[in-house]
Homo-oligomer: A and B are copies of this chain.
Amino acid sequence: MPSARFIQYGLGPIGIGIAALAVQQGHRLVAAVDIDPAKAGQPAAAFIPQAPADVLVTADASQVLNAGADIVLHSTQSRLALVLPQLLPLIDAGLAVISTCEELAFPWHHHPVEAASLDVLARSRGVGVVGLGVNPGFVMDLLPVVLSAPCRDIRQITVVRVVDVGLRRLPLQQKVGVGLTVEAFRRGVSEGRIGHVGLPQSAAMVAHALGWALNQIEESIEPVIDSSRTVRGVHQVCRGTYTNAHQITLDLTMTAGAERPRDEIVIEATPPIRATLEGGIHGDQATYAILVNAIPRVLAAPPGLLLPTYLPAVPPDRRG
């Protein structure tokens, strides 16, 4: 695999994991950005194992635009509105971008103007920009789309994902409300602090692949509680409706101690498909690998705002 020169933008736990894997796979870190005062000014190697000793973390992203990078690995926030001001100067400087921003995975439905702006800018600068991750970006959208290749007359696509957050990072447990009262959970949901971001984007991405113009995308977010009415986590259901007979249902449970963690994909079609991934694809390691494995594929892709579904499994310029 050819190696790339990359900028790590965002040194939270996910960003650090991505950068560490990229370095381990032979890509070269040329700059690192984080606004945390405890990180800015420090050597990147203090956070990213094996990072080059001469790279210092900077809080000022404008300073890295000419660092000679091919691509930016970006991991800051979930919401497109917060991420867009970070991405535009990078793209304008001719840098490809792979981001964990959940709303970037498929922004055309909920943010069509922003999506078109990103697309036009990325095309004019000749670079690819894409939002990737396990969810959205893989298990509830790309994977069902790939699995639908042998199908005709697709009627329903249902994905059930069960994640046990009990053994995961504390921030993830907090994000799904573990230990809260129901009232505090609901307040957190209304304030946007609690809940998983990305199910509507996944539903829209699947619909786009099928050529379905969805009439409605609705989402519910409910607490999962134990016998003492303490919140154990979240249950979210997102349904995208094309017709009454053509629906996409994404059912996500993330709780501490969830029974039988798994991903299930059911496609009602001819022939029907029923796929189960016991244990489920989760863990931060999966996110790191999805981003880093995508580097050569994004660099080889046609320019523009890309979708996870646009990236071939293998870059087509790599001849047999």
Query: Which chain A residues have a beta carbon within 8 Å of chain B's beta carbons?
Result: 1, 21, 25, 106-109, 112, 115, 119, 134, 138, 142-143, 145-147, 149-152, 208-209, 211, 270-279, 281-283, 285-290, 292-294, 301-302, 304-307, 309-314, 316-320
A142-B313, A309-B313 in contact; A149/B293 too (CB < 8 A)?
Answer: yes
**What are 25 inter-chain pairs, A to B, with CB distance below 8 A?**
A25-B152, A106-B320, A108-B320, A119-B319, A138-B150, A145-B313, A146-B313, A149-B294, A150-B281, A150-B285, A150-B286, A151-B286, A152-B292, A270-B285, A271-B281, A273-B277, A275-B275, A275-B276, A275-B277, A276-B277, A301-B316, A302-B317, A310-B314, A310-B316, A312-B312
How far is it, in angstroms, between the C-alpha of A306 and the C-alpha of B281 when the chains are bound? 29
Contacts of A134 in B (CB 8 A): 150
CA distance A27 to B185 in the complex (A): 52
C-alpha spacing A142/B271, complex, angstroms:
18
B residues in contact with A21, CB < 8 Å: 152
- What residue of chain B has the Cβ atom nearest to residue A112's Cβ? B320
Given A149-B293, A152-B285, 5 more A-B residue pairs with CB atoms under 8 Å apart are: A209-B313, A270-B285, A274-B278, A310-B314, A312-B312
Q: Which of B276, B281, B307, B314 contacts A307 (CB 8 A)?
A: B314
Residues in chain B near residue A294, CB distance under 8 A: 149
Whether A311 and B312, one on each chain, are in contact in the complex, defined by CB atoms closer than 8 angstroms, is yes
Is A276 touching B278 in the complex (CB atoms < 8 A)?
yes
Residue of chain B at shortest CB distance from A315: B310
Cα–Cα distance between A316 and B152 once the two chains are bound (Å): 21
Contacting A149 at CB < 8 Å: which of B150, B151, B289? B289
> Is B312 touching A310 in the complex (CB atoms < 8 A)?
yes
A150 with B290: CB separation less than 8 A: yes
Q: Contact check, B289 vs A150: say whether CB atoms are below 8 A apart.
A: yes
Does the CB pair A302–B316 fall under 8 Å? Answer: yes
A180 to B283, CA, bound (A): 50
Q: Which residues of B contact A273 (CB under 8 A)?
A: 277, 281
A138: chain B residues within 8 A (beta carbon)? 149-150
